[in-house]
Structure 1
């Protein structure tokens, strides 16, 4: 659900954005672990940290929250409004797979389902987990996506 800056931003996102932009410490694996219900193992943490061997490699991850519009006149607001205009006309199958425990996106599934015509009648799922569903409900998430693909392939 592309934010436009026209709606209130959850406090959790404001905190995340400030942390990403200003904290001298930016531990990728710990961030993933904190945003998940389950605890990552040592190998998983190393795998998440591997692409970010130094500070300069984290620049994109740090900058991403700043790109999310929080005010109507933010640079990405217009592009996201244009995206919503397309989504409000979208007739192809559109599946939402949200989590029950993400303080930033929780509840957004109903908003999207109401606005996107292709979402009507789809087997939407709310999975157990935090922000990173691939860690908390990987099988259920994959099954939902694979089911939509099968549906679109006619099988």
Structure 2
């Protein structure tokens, strides 16, 4: 009888340990919705160049959300809206209290089921951008017009 209790405890412990782990618990390997990669170019040379200071904000439908302050960066990853909106408004400025440029990113979305842990992944297609308010961004240049992962640059901002 004494051994049966130990066997039952060991079997229950093994079952608990075995059932806790799994590949679908969290979304680790970049399977989630990708962000848009934005890089920077010099208006004078047309070559990619790092930006000494940049502030970015995004409107996800309920007002601007500040993404933060970035120093000496050559690119930034921006999460786009995941609702059914056909666009995301993004704001850039190079001074903490300066004027900001307003960029509207238009797209169509496609959803794909990934796993129970990750849920649904959105991919963005037919990207096109319009510069609604220039200064400090002077011009936009299109990159890859779909977002399937975060490796390729989708938009270049010219300063």
Normalised by the size of structure 1, how large is the TM-score? 0.24
Between Structure 1 and Structure 2, the one with more helix by share is 1
Structure with more strand by fraction: 2
- Greater C-alpha Rg: 2
